[in-house]
Amino acid sequence: MSLLIKQLSIFLENKQGRLSEVAVLLGDQGINMTAFTVTESSDFGLLRLIVSDSEKALAVLKEKGFAVSMTEVICLQCPNEPGALGKAMTLLTAGGVFIEYMYVFSQNDRANVIIRPHNMEKCTKVLLDNKLVLLAENDLYKIG
């Protein structure tokens, strides 16, 4: 079982309604958005998201003319309590892992941290060697 999760990155013009357009399009196709983050500049936004069917979402978005790509990320599950994320980040820093970006979605007593490290294998090894919990892609849809 792979512990890597497929994430879509979509470049959006920085204008009203573009995020809504993506959400409606995916919803109409029966694709659930599990987690996402949006960053923006003056000209464009970048929507990173994890969905229930990444291959279908990729095809649908490309068909509608969106600039979209797929990358792999890691999902660390840790307690949703003060200091838990700090401990994990300290381990990654000590292990020489550089984090390109990350975002979190919490549910009750668990925080699910989406991590895009510079070196996927090294990051996974550090986390697993320290007995931290990584979720596989299909685990994300069992959360509830």
Q: Do both 55 and 115 map to the same domain? A: no
66 and 79: one domain? Answer: no
Note whether 41 and 104 are within 8 A (CB): no
Widest pairwise Cα distance in the chain? 45
Q: What is the pLDDT of residue 110?
A: 92
**56 and 96 housed in the same domain:** no
Looking up residue 109, the CATH number of its domain turns out to be: 3.30.2130.10
Within this chain, do residues 59 and 77 fall inside the same structural domain, yes or no?
Answer: no
Supply the pTM of this predicted model. 0.89
At residue 115, the pLDDT reads 97
Please, what are the averages of pLDDT over each run of 10 residues along the chain (144 residues)?
Answer: 89 86 96 90 87 95 96 95 95 97 91 96 96 88 59
Q: Are residues 53 and 89 in the same domain?
A: no
Compute the distance between CA of residue 138 and CA of residue 117 in angstroms, rounded to an integer: 21
Q: 40 to each of 43, 59, 128, how far by Cα in Å?
A: 8, 24, 33
| Residues 128 and 85 occupy one common structural domain | yes
Total domains in the fold of the chain:
2
Q: Looking at residue 9, what is its pLDDT?
A: 96
Please give the residue range of the domain that contains residue 102. 73-141
